[in-house]
Amino acid sequence: MASKLWEKSVTVDHDVETYTVGRDREMDLYLAPFDILGSMAHITMLESIGLLEKSELETLLNELREIYKIAEKGEFVIEEGIEDVHSQVELMLTRSLGDIGKKIHSGRSRNDQVLVDLKLFIRSRIEDLTQAIKRLFDTLIEQSDRYSNVLLPGYTHLQVAMPSSFGLWFGAYAESLADDLTVLKAAYEITNRNPLGSAAGYGSSFPLNRTMTTRLLGFDSMDYNVVYAQMGRGKTERIVSQAIASIAATLSKLAFDACMFNSQNFAFIKLPDEYTTGSSIMPHKKNPDVFELTRAKCNKLQALPVEITLITNNLPSGYFRDLQLIKESFLPAFDEIITIINMVNAMMSQLKVNENILDDKRYELMFSVEEVNRLAQEGTPFRDAYKQVGLAIERGEFTAPTSVNHTHEGSIGNLCNDRIKQLFDNTLSQFNFDTYHKAFDALLQR
């Protein structure tokens, strides 16, 4: 069994090792490609300050590029007895290159290694997440435009309230995603700062060039204060998880609506048969299991910021092993939310809308405000018009209007979908993903 990077004359107890490592080796596989990229930037900087020879740098970079290819193909393995991804990469280098491989850790701690790995991982997964959000957003806008004139009841207190439309319903969730994207952009800005060079949280006596590694890794700037860089562990994950939770809240509400609107008592929408499941004893059942599970999965994701807060909220400055546990819930959260978005997108693009909802007389009273407003426009004081219509309803003499005329911005007749799209696209354009792609390509010489 290989020794640990930190191990000296005493071998740690096996049960203690198992307890402290936990699922860290499994979680570190998420970080492998980014650990390699971080090492490439770090050793390039080490050569610039005289801690590596140019020939040593080229040898190390070439070997790291080969290891990166392994990681990119999903074939990177943390061997039994190896503590983490950082140790595995260093082991692979020393096996291939000998003592040169031992030089890559100068001026670094595993603390700032995992910090930079996490930042690079999060940055990449936020890009994947924005692409998934964009696909769903486009579907919602498309459906909003398609069904812009199809009315349905709007509810308050789950009581029939006022006229709404499928244009409004689809468009509302599109605009909600636009706000969620704004929150995600703020989380991205906090993520896109370089912690490398903070070492164990107190800097290094080596003359590290942190500006250089910031550029090499395509960060916007650095976490300047080395103590704060370490304090950012846990805080960054919490802020990003809050952005994920915001998206999850939007999708959870949409899932509830879809389950309710799909039920026979409402029958506003019909889900594709292939997206529903049946009952073992009731042959007529077509259950909206996808949306029910979406609701539950989204509610779990909304708990993630609280979980991270509870792990970190009573820690002083400096590194503590508690932070390791955040990985177990946080790293897989990106796959979870992206899978949810993709499934919701498929459902929303295929569902059928009932275009004859208002043939049902039970919805006539939702037009009461329309009648009040009509009387007010004709000169009747609003409170008198309200009472007049209310008394007509009590006597059973109310006659519903046959149409609605909403023209103000964001209403049934003026959805402002073009402005919502502009709002979304403007935020999307502010993510500077190309910057880090170019930086990575330069490191990998692609």
Domain boundary among 106, 131, 155: 106
Buried b (16+ CB within 10 A) or exposed e, 296-327: ebbebbbebbebbeebbeeeeeebeeebbbbb
Q: Is residue 171 part of a domain?
A: yes
Query: What pLDDT digit, counting tens, does each position of 228-247 carry?
Result: 999 999 999 999 999 999 99
Domain boundary among 106, 130, 160: 106
pLDDT of 287 reads: 79
Domain boundary among 106, 133, 162: 106
Percent of the chain with pLDDT over 70: 93
In this structure, the answer to whether residues 65 and 164 fall within a common structural domain is no
- What band does 6 get if pLDDT is binned at 50, 70 and 90? very low
Please compute the mean of the pLDDT values over residues 378-400 and round it to a whole number. 94
pTM attached to this predicted model? 0.92
| Alpha carbons 315 and 311: distance in angstroms, whole number | 8
In this structure, the answer to whether residues 116 and 252 fall within a common structural domain is yes
In this structure, the answer to whether residues 133 and 271 fall within a common structural domain is yes
Q: Among the listed ranges 4-13, 379-388, 416-425, which one has the minimum average pLDDT value?
A: 4-13
Please compute the mean of the pLDDT values over residues 313-336 and round it to a whole number. 92
Q: Is residue 7 part of a domain?
A: no
pLDDT of 1 reads: 42
Torsion of Cα atoms, 413 then 417 then 420 then 425, to 10°: -170
In this structure, the answer to whether residues 162 and 261 fall within a common structural domain is yes
Q: Which residues are within 8 A (CB) of 426 and not within 5 positions of it... i.e. 6 or more apart? A: none
Instruction: Evaluate if residue 400 carries a pLDDT over 90.
Output: no
In this structure, the answer to whether residues 368 and 389 fall within a common structural domain is yes
Instruction: Evaluate if residue 71 carries a pLDDT over 50.
Output: yes
In this structure, the answer to whether residues 183 and 293 fall within a common structural domain is yes
Instruction: Evaluate if residue 353 carries a pLDDT over 50.
Output: yes
Q: Is residue 306 part of a domain?
A: yes
In this structure, the answer to whether residues 334 and 429 fall within a common structural domain is yes
In this structure, the answer to whether residues 23 and 167 fall within a common structural domain is no
Give me the number of domains the chain comprises.
3
In this structure, the answer to whether residues 227 and 193 fall within a common structural domain is yes
Query: What pLDDT digit, counting tens, does each position of 233-288 carry?
Result: 999 999 999 999 999 999 999 999 999 999 989 999 998 878 777 655 665 667 78
Q: Is residue 131 part of a domain?
A: yes
In this structure, the answer to whether residues 140 and 198 fall within a common structural domain is yes
Q: Is residue 3 part of a domain?
A: no
pLDDT of 228 reads: 96
Q: Among the listed ranges 1-5, 84-88, 206-210, which one has the minimum average pLDDT value?
A: 1-5
Please compute the mean of the pLDDT values over residues 175-195 and round it to a whole number. 98
pLDDT of 275 reads: 75
Instruction: Evaluate if residue 222 carries a pLDDT over 70.
Output: yes
> Both tokens of residue 158?
């789950």
From residue 404, how far is each of 131, 165, 229, 291, 411 by CA, in Å? 37, 11, 57, 32, 11
Q: Is residue 9 part of a domain?
A: no
Query: What pLDDT digit, counting tens, does each position of 117-164 carry?
Result: 999 999 999 999 999 999 999 999 999 999 999 999 999 999 999 999
> Both tokens of residue 107?
């001026």
48: nearest Cα among 256, 226, 206, 185: 206
pLDDT of 286 reads: 74
Q: Which domain holds residue 68?
A: 14-106
Determine which helix (DSSP H) or strand (DSSP E) holds 220, and give its type and residue range.
none
In this structure, the answer to whether residues 236 and 324 fall within a common structural domain is yes
Q: Is residue 285 part of a domain?
A: yes
What SS3 state is found at 159? strand
Q: Is residue 4 part of a domain?
A: no
pLDDT of 11 reads: 62
Q: Among the listed ranges 209-218, 225-234, 280-289, 383-392, which one has the minimum average pLDDT value?
A: 280-289
Average pLDDT, the chain: 92
21: domain CATH number is 1.10.275.10
In this structure, the answer to whether residues 325 and 390 fall within a common structural domain is no
